[in-house]
Amino acid sequence: MKVLVTGHLGYIGTVMVPELIERGHDVVGLDSDLFRECSFDDTSIVRVPELIKDVRDVSISDMRGFDAVIHLANLSNDPLGNLNPNLTYEINHLGSVQLASFARKAGVERFLFSSSCSLYGAAGLDAVTESAEFNPVTPYGKAKVLAERDIALLASDEFSPIFLRNATAYGVSPRFRFDLVVNNLTAWALATGKIMIKSDGSPWRPLVHIRDITSAFIAALEAPKATIHNEAFNVGSTGENYQIRDIARIVGETVPNCEVAFAEGASPDKRSYQVSFDKIESTLPGFSPEWTARRGVEEVYEALRDRSISVDEFEGPRYRRIKSIQNLLAEGKITSELRRTDIVEAEL
């Protein structure tokens, strides 16, 4: 297939693109390159033909000639979403719906939307399925709910949306992020020999490696239409639901001489949910998750062990998306609408 990947220069995109190419797909990227300074290893990024363009500015003509669109580009987490909720809705909701609408008009057959398990929000102790009620507690989660709702309405005999609700991601990438719990705790343990948990450690999170996310997208891309048409899939593995304290324990057992502690008077984080991944495992035989949180911690530890990365570095703008945005705003490199001022949009 000829596939357009939005956000191809991001944390997940830089891992997904080479896997798509290896599967024989013809890949084109689309990215505003907002986070170009957030590089862990740019030399390992596989370059493809690309459009350097904000997803809000995409036209119908940009969508023509593609069999499928994989839409990864968005403001990627709760802190970014909270920075300016209106922009979060503009980009993650309205921008995504417009992109899907243009893809449909341009004759694209499949639209794979990178959604999130965070739309379940405060879901209690039962493992939620794709039919569960949504209870998002942040603008990021609410924007995902609205985007799914409106994109689903575009489904037709010729246009198949697919909603892939990723669990909390982790893993090594050329555009590494340390604002994700597994990556962050491992970095803290290595840099300081100590993990300080700011909540009481009781909240539940489903976890998934970015290579397993990639595997899920490829499985949905290649599955028969009847299997995926206008369907939602939780992306992860049922055995990979963890309490935060369990993740900390795994990190403590992996990183030598690491102490795990909890902040005095810590209270639970209201974002707590467990997720069932039975549907994707039974419906998409091409998806076979290979990673566990323990293996992921080991991978992150190995990647960082010889780099002498400091707390200031991994907590700073290079690896935390919210701080990167704040830094770019302060330097005048982006506008208040999060548009870069130092690039000219480039076409193919």
Measured CA to CA, the distance from residue 204 to residue 271 in angstroms comes to 8
* pLDDT at 266 exceeding the cut of 70: no
List, as one string, the DSSP characters of 92-155.
Answer: IIIIHHHHHHHHHHTT--EEEEEEEGGGG-S--SSEE-TTSPP---SHHHHHHHHHHHHHHTT-
Measured CA to CA, the distance from residue 172 to residue 297 in angstroms comes to 10
Which residue do the tokens 């350097």 mark?
52
Asked if residue 97 belongs to a domain, the reply is yes
Asked if residue 347 belongs to a domain, the reply is no
In this prediction, residues 263-291 reach a mean pLDDT of 84
Which residue do the tokens 């397993």 mark?
212
Highest mean pLDDT among 34-43, 149-158, 173-182, 319-328: 149-158
β-bridge mates for residue 220, sequence order: none
* pLDDT at 263 exceeding the cut of 80: no
Asked if residue 263 belongs to a domain, the reply is yes
> Is the full-model pTM beyond 0.85?
yes
Which residue do the tokens 């799914």 mark?
148
Residue 159 phi/psi, 5-degree rounding, is -135, 120
Burial class (CB in 10 A: 0-12, 13-18, 19+), 15: buried
Measured CA to CA, the distance from residue 168 to residue 237 in angstroms comes to 11
Sign of the alpha-carbon torsion through 320, 233, 115, 274:
negative
> What's the mean per-residue pLDDT of the chain?
91
Q: Please name which of 342, 345, 337 lies closest in space to residue 91, comparing C-alpha atoms.
A: 337
Is the Cβ–Cβ distance between 208 and 240 less than 8 Å?
yes
Asked if residue 339 belongs to a domain, the reply is no
Asked if residue 336 belongs to a domain, the reply is no
Spatial neighbors of 246 by CB under 8 A, at least 6 apart, are: none
Asked if residue 123 belongs to a domain, the reply is yes
How many domains does the chain divide into?
A: 1
Name the E strands within 271-321. 274-275
pLDDT tens by residue, 305-314: 988 788 888 8
pLDDT at 80: 63
Q: What is the CATH number of the domain that holds 178?
A: 3.40.50.720
Domain that holds residue 298: 2-331
Asked if residue 55 belongs to a domain, the reply is yes
pLDDT at 152: 98
Is the Cβ–Cβ distance between 55 and 6 less than 8 Å?
yes
* pLDDT at 271 exceeding the cut of 80: no
pLDDT at 168: 95
Q: Most distant CA pair in the chain: distance in Å?
A: 58
Measured CA to CA, the distance from residue 218 to residue 27 in angstroms comes to 12
Asked if residue 217 belongs to a domain, the reply is yes
What length does the chain have? 348
Q: Quick one: tokens of 161?
A: 């949306």
Read off the pLDDT band of 151 (50, 70, 90): very high
- As a three-state string, the secondary structure of 219-258 is HHHHCCHHHHCCEEEEECCHHHEEEHHHHHHHHHHHCCCC
Strands 231-235 and 160-166: parallel
Q: Which CA distances in Å does 317 have to 10, 44, 179, 244, 324?
A: 15, 21, 11, 24, 4
